[in-house]
A = this chain, B = another copy of it.
Amino acid sequence: MKSSRSLHGINRRELISGLASLPALSCFPFSAMAQVQTTQDGPLGSWNEGPAKKAIVDFVQSTTDQASSKFVPREQRIATFDQDGTLWVEHPIYSQVVYCLDRVPVLAEKNPKLKDIEPFKTILSGNREAIAKLSLYELEKILFATLTGMSVDDFEAEVEKWLASAKDGRWKRPYTELIYQPMHEVMQYLRSNGFKTYIVTGGGQDFVRVYSERVYGIPPEQVVGTAGGTKYGYEKDGTPFLTKEPKLLLNDDNAGKPEGIHLMIGRRPYAAFGNSTGDREMLEYTAAGDGARLMMLVLHDDAQREYAYGPAQGLPETKVGTFSQELYDEAKKKNWTVISMKNDWKRIFAFEKG
């Protein structure tokens, strides 16, 4: 009974994800260079030769060749991508959580009582150590407090504004620049072969939709995410508007991913990309279809260029993106492809020279 879940029932992934502020062309100074390089090296220019790249190319060739027994009609070509840790950096904290934390002072100004209530009090203290210790349940409180009761238009404007100024702590760049160039190329490659690419994220659907088109080339209607209800109402002058409600309609993580895919797309994907146990069911559901199916998992094993985490490789477990040993074993057993960031990717970000 997911829809009746309240604060307690919401899992870690609902706290997820956040970024992108300026039009792609103007905010990615290196994207033009990336484009050229892509052309020189073929459609997957940032990929090293190896089993991961081969799996992608083989899949596309067999599903788009009319002579192949695995040919898939164009209208059925659906590919789904998890976002956090699959398309962009999720470590050490989901961008959407940062967004929610950043909104707390604004909320406290409107409602001064919050200044004496936890976890708002801790967040307002600015004590980084104390903030880092907040439990997920306490962060969930913030998530709902920050999102509920806003009109959807105001929410969108706020996120835009935040994305324009917020920067990641390590790279000192807008979050929207921290997308994985090799995955960007996979999405472009699939689209140029007639696939419709979708984001299927545990993150907030309305949040990701704000920047998905300019950052990933994925229009808002192709973003499936954790979604709350809205309420239709009227301004005094009769103008209708939608307000965000504190009601969870879709918890788009774990089993919620195939359920969300059914609700929002209504077709089983032919390809699915993830990086954590939250993506397992989406990959299983994809794999259960007939014909050629492509299931891939990104393994964060590159401490130097990005991060290394997840018990699958004996790496440290973190609060984000758990790639468990169990998932790793399932992947190996079922011939899903594990992408090693370290070995399979020539470069991680568009702003690297590659």
By the criterion CB–CB under 8 Å, are A240 and B3 in contact?
A: no
Residues in B with CB closer than 8 Å to A75 are: 213, 219
Residues in B with CB closer than 8 Å to A78 are: 221
Residues in B with CB closer than 8 Å to A223 are: 266
In the assembled complex, the Cα of A209 lies from the Cα of B268 at a distance in Å of: 13
Sample 27 A-B pairs with CB under 8 A, ordered by A number: A2-B229, A3-B4, A75-B213, A205-B263, A205-B266, A206-B266, A220-B266, A221-B264, A221-B265, A221-B266, A221-B267, A223-B266, A227-B263, A229-B259, A230-B259, A230-B262, A230-B263, A231-B255, A231-B259, A232-B259, A232-B281, A240-B258, A240-B281, A241-B288, A242-B259, A249-B263, A264-B264
By the criterion CB–CB under 8 Å, are B284 and A240 in contact?
A: yes
Contact with B along A285-296 (1 / 0, CB 8 A): 100100000000
Choice from B2, B196, B227, B262 contacting A152 with Cβ under 8 Å: B262
CB contacts under 8 Å to B, within A130-158, are 152
Residues in B with CB closer than 8 Å to A230 are: 259, 262-263
By the criterion CB–CB under 8 Å, are B249 and A249 in contact?
A: yes
In the assembled complex, the Cα of A285 lies from the Cα of B258 at a distance in Å of: 30
A215 interfacial contact with B, CB 8 Å: no
A1 interfacial contact with B, CB 8 Å: yes
Q: Contact size class for A?
A: 35 or more
Choice from B213, B219, B262 contacting A242 with Cβ under 8 Å: B262
In the assembled complex, the Cα of A4 lies from the Cα of B3 at a distance in Å of: 7
Task: Beyond the given A3-B229, A152-B262, A232-B258, please list 15 additional residue pairs across the A-B interface where CB-CB is below 8 A.
Answer: A1-B247, A3-B3, A3-B247, A75-B213, A219-B267, A220-B265, A220-B266, A221-B267, A227-B263, A232-B255, A232-B259, A232-B285, A240-B284, A240-B288, A249-B263
- Minimum CB distance partner of A254 in chain B: B232
In the assembled complex, the Cα of A78 lies from the Cα of B220 at a distance in Å of: 12
Residues in B with CB closer than 8 Å to A250 are: 249
By the criterion CB–CB under 8 Å, are A258 and B242 in contact?
A: yes
CB contacts under 8 Å to B, within A234-278, are 239-242, 247, 249-250, 255, 258-259, 262-267
By the criterion CB–CB under 8 Å, are B267 and A220 in contact?
A: yes
- Minimum CB distance partner of A259 in chain B: B230
The 10 A-B residue pairs whose C-beta atoms are closest, nearest first, are: A220-B266, A3-B3, A232-B255, A221-B265, A209-B266, A240-B284, A230-B259, A232-B258, A240-B288, A240-B285
- Minimum CB distance partner of A245 in chain B: B1
- Minimum CB distance partner of A284 in chain B: B240
By the criterion CB–CB under 8 Å, are B259 and A3 in contact?
A: no
Residues in B with CB closer than 8 Å to A240 are: 258, 281, 284-285, 288
Residues in B with CB closer than 8 Å to A206 are: 266
In the assembled complex, the Cα of A240 lies from the Cα of B250 at a distance in Å of: 19
In the assembled complex, the Cα of A53 lies from the Cα of B314 at a distance in Å of: 67
Contact with B along A70-112 (1 / 0, CB 8 A): 0000010010000000000000000000000000000000000
In the assembled complex, the Cα of A285 lies from the Cα of B2 at a distance in Å of: 28
> How far in angstroms is the closest Cβ of chain B from A345?
30
CB contacts under 8 Å to B, within A1-16, are 1-4
> How far in angstroms is the closest Cβ of chain B from A246?
10
- Minimum CB distance partner of A78 in chain B: B221
- Minimum CB distance partner of A5 in chain B: B3
In the assembled complex, the Cα of A263 lies from the Cα of B226 at a distance in Å of: 10
